[in-house]
Each structure stands twice: as C-alpha cells, then as structure tokens.
Amino acid sequence: MNTTEIWQRIDEKLSRVALRSMDKIPYTADNGVHDNKADSDITWWTNGFWPGLMWIMYVGTGKEVYRRAAERAEEKLDAAFKNYDGLHHDVGFMWHISSGVNYRLFKGGDSRLRTLYAADLLAARFNPKGGFIRSWNDDHLGWVIIDSMMNIPLLYWAAKEHGDPRYEYIARIHADKVLKSHIRPDGSVNHIVSLDPNDGHVIETFGGQGYGVGSSWSRGQAWAIYGFALSYIHTGDEKYLAAAKKAADYFISCVEKTGWVARVDFRAPDEPKLIDTTASAIAACGLLELGEDRYVGAARETLSSLMEYCDFDPETDPLLLMGSEAYYGRHHMPIIYGDFFFTEAIYKLTGGKFLFW
Ligand code: GLY
C-alpha cells in the first residue's frame, strides 16, 4: 500500500467534491451524489465530519478550497445552537473537529466561541452524583454510550483553553466510569449502559446499534479503541492506553479471521453477511496511536483491505462505501464519517502530525 499515492488520489477526488458539495453538510450519498443535512437536520450528530474532512485535506494540502468548504459548513452549524432541545452528547463530534480545528489553526474568535459553547453544553451534561456525562435527552437519565469517549477530547481542549481544570476533571471521571462499565473482561464493549443517576452503579446493558444484549457492535468497539487512545494522549494516564489496547486486541482477534474488514457485529449470526467499513476506518485511526508495531501493522492491513471499498472517481461524491448505520438499520452505504476516518488514517500514515481530536 503506497499511502502517498492514496493520499494523492483522495486529494484529486475531494478537491472536486469540495466544490460540488460546498453548500451542503453531507451524511450519505444517493447514486454518488451527497445528500444535505444542513437543510434537513442541522443538529444531526454527524454534521461535524464534513467540515472536519475538509480540514484534514486543508492541513494536508494547504488548498484554499478545503478551508472555504470547512468554514462554510461551520457557519451553517450555528443554526444548531438555536435548537437547544435538539442538541445531545455528540457536540464534540459536531464542533471539536469543525470550529475547534479552525480555531487551533487560525485563532479566529468566532470559532473559539463556537467550540467553547459546545464544550459548555457537554460539560453541563455531567452528573456529579453518578460520575458520568449523560447521553441523549428525555428520560434517559443514566444512559451512557461508548461513543462518548470520542466527544470528551473537546473537554480536554476546553480545560487548556480556559486554564480551568474542571473540564478535564469531568472528562476523566467520565472516562473512568466508561472504563469500568463498558469494557468487558475480554476487551469487547457494551454499546449502551444504563447507570443509576444517583450513584452510578450499572443497572442494565443494551445491545444498542448491535445485534443484541451482550453482542459486540464493531463500530462501538472502534470508538472505544480510538476514544481511550485519545484520552491517553490528552492526559498521559496509562490506564487509558491499557484500555485502548485491550479493546484493540479484541478487535484485531475478530477482524484478522475475516480479512480485516469488520462485520457489523462480531457476535451476530454469520448470515446475513453485514460489514461496516466505517468501524474499520475508525479502528485504524486508533490503532495508529497505540505506539507498537503490531498495532501499526494491523492498521495497515485494515486500510489495505478497505481500498477494495473506496471509490476514487472524482465524478462521484462519496469515498468509502459499504458503511452501516446499525445492525437493525441501513447497510452497505457510504457515510461521511467513513470518509473522514479513512482520510485521517491515510493522513497519519503519510506522516501528518496534526491531531484533529
Ligand atoms: N451512535 C453513533 C454511531 O452510529 O456510531
């Protein structure tokens, strides 16, 4: 796998896609044409990935078209701040990699405020009695989703930006709780856990987007690998690195048997054969941060296998095909975060040092 060549092919394609989708915030694509969540659902949890992808390309190439597309989407996202009830635990996905990257690169005041607002929204979800950041709204008082580990880097950033340790404190208490309640002894993870909002003990676990209770949803596994790796990077606390490696070892033991591309759920029946390329792309990004050759080797194997599912044609919009929403959702479709993480992994392998999270 020649990563420089792959990067060039991504750039050839995305520099055209950036122009075509300049006024959109895509989630998926239909017949090779991006949809537009900016019009249909501005608070949708994936809306940071398009500007985030544009920032990866900007950082990696310096091309202004990417910066323009990223900033256009960032401005559109302001409408989401007006829908308080529509916002949720995924504000890190939405702003840390959009306005957050813009601010880290250019120090613009509006980008700083957007990112700090998002951090405050996330911090305000912290339950001090239970010791966790709650997921979702409504009556899900104690639900915590493994994906939350990817949102808390926003808090590590806010702690530094404000010079106020509260944000990191909240992030670490949450990470410690997820480590205990979501990571199982064999390294597989629970997707959703219901915790008692008064004392934080585990009440119940759910299958979430996986096959069922006790199953093993591969994208959740990938969120755990990369999420704990990021908590280690931001805090230097070795227990988070150990957790990321434990989740990674389990993931690798599952995918090395089946050609490195993840099935949607590692514990679902063999048929129907459902795969999720997004899980593999996210896991590859996490594996590359674990600091051992065996993990880098696994990431390379994974990305090589994903090449079979890439569409490098500049005339179509999506890059990574065959993602999955959930075991009981839509399958084998392009999803914007698949493009984001595949591109981020290739960026890392070409020597890119900017940490987008
Ligand atoms: N729960 C967000 C995801 O689909 O990964």
H-type alpha helices, the chain: 3-20, 37-40, 49-61, 64-81, 91, 99-106, 109-123, 153-162, 166-182, 218-235, 238-255, 277-287, 293-306, 336-349
Pocket test for ligand 1, best of 140, 148, 218, 223 (most atoms within 8 A of CB): 223
pLDDT, average across residues 324-332: 98
Crossing angle of helices 218-235/166-182, nearest 10°? 140
Q: Look at residue 153 and tell me if it is in a domain.
A: yes
Which one is catalytic: 23, 41, 85, 90?
90
pLDDT at 185: 98
Residue 340 forms part of a structural domain:
yes
**What separation in Å is there between the alpha carbon of 62 and the centre of ligand 1?**
30
pLDDT higher than threshold 90 for residue 66: yes
Mean pLDDT of 8-20: 98
Round the CA-based radius of gyration of the chain to a whole number and report it: 19
Per-residue b/e over 329-347, b at no fewer than 16 CB within 10 Å? eebebbbbbbbbbbbbbbb
- For residue 282, report the distance from its CA to the centre of ligand 1, in Å: 11
What is the pLDDT confidence band of residue 74, given thresholds at 50, 70 and 90? very high
Q: Please name the residue whose Cα sits nearest to atom 1 of ligand 1.
A: 147
Q: How far apart are CA 117 and CA 107, in angstroms?
A: 16
Whether the predicted pLDDT of 143 surpasses 90: yes
pLDDT in tens, 218-233: 999 999 999 999 999 9
Spacing, Cα 43 to ligand 1 middle (Å): 14
Contacts 24+ apart (CB under 8 A), 201-207: 203/142, 207/327
Residue in 119, 55, 132 with CA at minimum distance from that of residue 87: 119
Identify whether 147 is a catalytic site residue: yes
- Between the alpha carbon of residue 168 and those of residues 97, 124, 154, 237, the distances in Å are 18, 13, 9, 12
- Phi/psi for 291 (5° steps) reads 75, 20
Containing structural domain, residue 307: 3-349
**pLDDT at res. 252:** 98
Residue minimizing CA distance to atom 5 of ligand 1: 219
- For the stretch 189-198, pLDDT in tens is 999 999 999 9
**294-309 residue pLDDT tens:** 999 999 999 999 999 9
Specify the pTM.
0.98
* Most informative mutation of 146, 193, 219 for ligand 1 (most atoms within 8 A of CB): 219
Q: How far is the CA of 163 from the centre of ligand 1 (A)?
A: 31
Name the residue with tokens 């979702």.
136
- Classify residue 356: in a domain, yes or no: no
Average pLDDT over the chain, rounded to an integer: 98
What CA–CA distance (Å, rounded) separates 4 from 232? 28
Q: Is 145 contained in some domain?
A: yes
The pLDDT of residue 10 is above 90: yes
Residue 15 lies in a domain: yes
Note whether residue 304 is domain-resident: yes
Contact 338, 319 (CB under 8 A): yes
How would residue 1 be classed by pLDDT, with cut points 50, 70 and 90?
Answer: confident
CA of 209 to the centre of ligand 1 (A): 7
Q: How many domains does the chain have?
A: 1
Q: Is the dihedral of CA 205, 234, 77, 20 positive or negative?
A: negative
In a domain, 176, yes or no: yes
The binding-site residues of ligand 1, defined as CB within 6 angstroms of any ligand atom, are: 147, 209, 219
Residue 208 CA, closest ligand 1 atom number:
1
Q: What is the pLDDT of residue 159?
A: 98
How far apart CA 166 and CA 230 sit, in angstroms, is 18
Residue closest via CA to ligand 1's atom 2 equals 147
How far apart are alpha carbons 49 and 232 in whole angstroms?
Answer: 22
Q: Can you read off the two tokens belonging to residue 122?
A: 């996330």
In a domain, 354, yes or no: no
Distance (Å) of CA 161 to CA 115, 154, 166, 260: 10, 10, 12, 39
Which residue among the candidates 147, 265, 276, 339 is catalytic per the annotation?
147
User: Is the CB of residue 300 less than 8 Å from the CB of residue 1?
Assistant: yes
DSSP 12-54: HHHHHHHHHTTT---S-EETTEE--HHHH-TT-TTTTHHHHHH
Q: Tell me the two tokens of residue 6.
A: 């792959």
CATH number of the domain encompassing residue 311: 1.50.10.10
Q: What is the pLDDT of residues 249-286, one digit of tens each?
A: 999 999 999 999 999 999 999 999 999 999 999 999 99
Q: Is 311 a catalytic residue?
A: no
Mean local confidence (pLDDT), 202-215: 97
Number of the ligand 1 atom closest to the C-alpha atom of 326 = 4
Give the residue whose CA is nearest to atom 4 of ligand 1: 325
- Residues 219 and 210: their CA atoms lie apart, in Å, by 9
The residue type of 9 is: R
Q: Please, are residues 255 and 303 in contact by the beta-carbon 8 Å criterion?
A: no
Centre of ligand 1 from the C-alpha of residue 105, in Å: 28
Model pLDDT for residues 86-124, shown as the tens digit of each residue: 999 999 999 999 999 999 999 999 999 999 999 999 999
